Amino acid sequence: MKPNFSLRLRVFNLNCWGIPYLSKHRADRVKRLGDFLNRESFDLALLEEVWSEQDFQYLRQKLLPAYPAAHYFRSGIIGSGLCVFSKHPIQEFTQHVFTLNGYPYMIHHGDWFCGKAVGLLVLHLGGLVLNAYVTHLHAEYNRQKDIYLAHRVAQAWELAQFIHHTSKKADVVLLCGDLNLHPKDLGCRLLKEWTGLHDAFLETRDFKGPEEGCTMVPENCYVNRQELEQFPLGIRIDYVLYKAVSGLYISCKTLRTTTGHEPHSGSPLSDHEALMATLCVRHSPPQHNPSPTHAERSPLISVLREAWAELDQGMAQGRWWATIAGYVTGLGLLLLALLCALAAGGEIREVAVLLWTPSVGLVLGAGAFYLFHVQEAKGLCRARAELQHVLGRAREAQDQPALLLGQQEGDRAEEQ
């Protein structure tokens, strides 16, 4: 790598709101998105909510000259909705589907059927290894009484762990996506603290877009204004996050966000705003990473503690639902036995036969509910155990500042 090395990276991110039959003007918006991406010629375009594979294939054909590499991340029943278009060859890709992603019986919310995931692309640019991640976390339907909070925190943790474990040899890490988390939400803080990723909006000196960097704004004609009642300026839930390893320096030169309409035609591309970042990677003079001080570590410890408590509460709730469902299944089985006896005895036979269907439904439904919540509690317990371990190590590091956490290779094992 040359000493005066510099790499400029232009990145585009958009939650495309591409629900077949439900999202307004989908075909037109996808066409305009393709035109826009062709005109702008970014290095990487990372998209969420491209639920229809036909839309992806349409964009793939349209963008082929400017973005020769592309990938659609398939998962779950409907899909992850994630896809990517790249000007540069994609060296490797893989994905991780989140263990917990809502409830199958919340059909009207639909997240469970999607298989929300994080996709990883490895690119080699100017001698650097770039790990680019694209993700979309579980939606927030009711901020006051959020039944999905524990799941979203667990997803943020899994996302952070996936990035942590798969990016150890990367020079530059980039994460784009719709996190469905406000900047100060627990999941967002957890993700940033554990991965060390920086927020383009907070870091850049050249931002143009809605106030406070909002990515869902009331000016957008597709936005449900009721959802933004509490937030007159809008909300910021879509992010460009990045970091570079020691010896390299990354900065966000400019960040542009659409403001409720596409710059060229005036109509919005989606109900979310698009993020366009220009990142610059430079070879900074090699410098020793300072040991984290107590003050630097404490946010990690406090956010880990907070997340632990949230997962613990979610786990208790999951177990409570499993217990209730277990009892209901047992009662349903008793009812079925009673109905069989009544039908066989000839008393109120027709009523017994009529009640047969709802009773079988009750047993099967409660049984499935039981199994689902057992699995939910196990998933939350797993995330809690990982968090607890990291918390323990962070506390040790606080007590012995020389012992660094995570990436650092302090070795306490005996040499044999």
- Active-site positions read 272
Is residue 415 within the footprint of its own copies (CB under 8 A)? yes
Stretch that binds its own copies, among 20-28, 92-100, 173-181, 183-191 (CB under 8 A): 92-100
- Measured from the CB atom, the residue of 228 and 374 that comes closer to its own copies is 374
Instruction: Considering only CA atoms, give the Rg of the chain.
Output: 25
Question: Is residue 192 a contact partner of residue 299, using CB atoms and an 8 Å limit?
Answer: no
Q: Which amino acid is at 276?
A: M
What's phi and psi for 405, nearest 5 deg? -100, 155
Q: In what order do the strands lie in the sheet with 249-257?
A: 69-72, 83-86, 44-50, 6-18, 275-282, 249-257, 207-208
**Local structure of residue 125 (DSSP, 8 states):** E
Q: Rounded to the nearest 10 degrees, what angle do helices 149-166 and 294-345 cross at?
A: 130
Q: Min. distance of Cβ 117 from its own copies in angstroms?
A: 9
Binders of its own copies among 346-365, rule CB under 8 A? 350, 353-354, 356-357, 360-361, 364
- Measured from the CB atom, the residue of 75 and 220 that comes closer to its own copies is 75
Closest Cα to residue 134, out of 240, 16, 263, 254? Answer: 240
Whether the CA torsion 342, 346, 351, 357 is positive or negative: it is positive
Binders of its own copies among 68-87, rule CB under 8 A? 71-77, 79
Candidates 94, 224, 298, 323; binder of its own copies (CB under 8 A) is 94
From residue 304 to residue 343, the character string flagging contacts with its own copies as x (rule: CB under 8 A) and all else as - is ----------------------------------------
Candidates 81, 115, 209, 260; binder of its own copies (CB under 8 A) is 115
Distance separating alpha carbons of residues 45 and 14, to the nearest angstrom: 8
Q: Which amino acid is at 314?
A: G
Candidates 25, 32, 88, 283; binder of its own copies (CB under 8 A) is 88
Binders of its own copies among 364-393, rule CB under 8 A? 364, 371, 374-375, 378-379, 381-382, 385-386, 389-390, 393
Q: Min. distance of Cβ 354 from its own copies in angstroms?
A: 6
Distance separating alpha carbons of residues 328 and 359, to the nearest angstrom: 11
- Measured from the CB atom, the residue of 155 and 258 that comes closer to its own copies is 155
Q: Which amino acid is at 163?
A: I
- Measured from the CB atom, the residue of 214 and 355 that comes closer to its own copies is 355
Distance separating alpha carbons of residues 149 and 311, to the nearest angstrom: 9
Half-sphere exposure of 288 (CA within 13 A, CB side): 3
Q: Min. distance of Cβ 178 from its own copies in angstroms?
A: 21
- Measured from the CB atom, the residue of 123 and 235 that comes closer to its own copies is 123
- Measured from the CB atom, the residue of 131 and 270 that comes closer to its own copies is 131
Closest Cα to residue 131, out of 176, 82, 98, 192? Answer: 176
Q: Is 66 exposed, middle or buried (0-12, 13-18, 19+ CB in 10 A)?
A: middle
**Local structure of residue 2 (DSSP, 8 states):** -
Candidates 125, 132, 307, 311; binder of its own copies (CB under 8 A) is 125
Candidates 19, 97, 309, 342; binder of its own copies (CB under 8 A) is 97
- Measured from the CB atom, the residue of 92 and 296 that comes closer to its own copies is 92
Q: Min. distance of Cβ 161 from its own copies in angstroms?
A: 5
- Measured from the CB atom, the residue of 139 and 343 that comes closer to its own copies is 343
Which segments of 200-289 are extended strands (E)? 207-208, 238-244, 249-257, 275-282
Binders of its own copies among 142-201, rule CB under 8 A? 161, 165-166, 168-169
Question: Is residue 51 a contact partner of residue 78, using CB atoms and an 8 Å limit?
Answer: yes
Q: Min. distance of Cβ 223 from its own copies in angstroms?
A: 30
Stretch that binds its own copies, among 25-33, 96-104, 291-299, 306-314 (CB under 8 A): 96-104
Q: Min. distance of Cβ 193 from its own copies in angstroms?
A: 16
Counting residues that bind its own copies (by CB under 8 A) gives 67
Q: Min. distance of Cβ 99 from its own copies in angstroms?
A: 6
Q: In what order do the strands lie in the sheet with 238-244?
A: 92-97, 117-125, 128-136, 172-178, 238-244, 198-199
Cα distances (angstroms) measured from residue 342 to each of 40, 236, 347, 353: 73, 60, 6, 9
Q: Which residues bind its own copies (CB under 8 A)?
A: 7-9, 43, 71-77, 79, 88-97, 99, 113, 115, 120, 123-129, 161, 165-166, 168-169, 350, 353-354, 356-357, 360-361, 364, 371, 374-375, 378-379, 381-382, 385-386, 389-390, 393, 406, 409-416
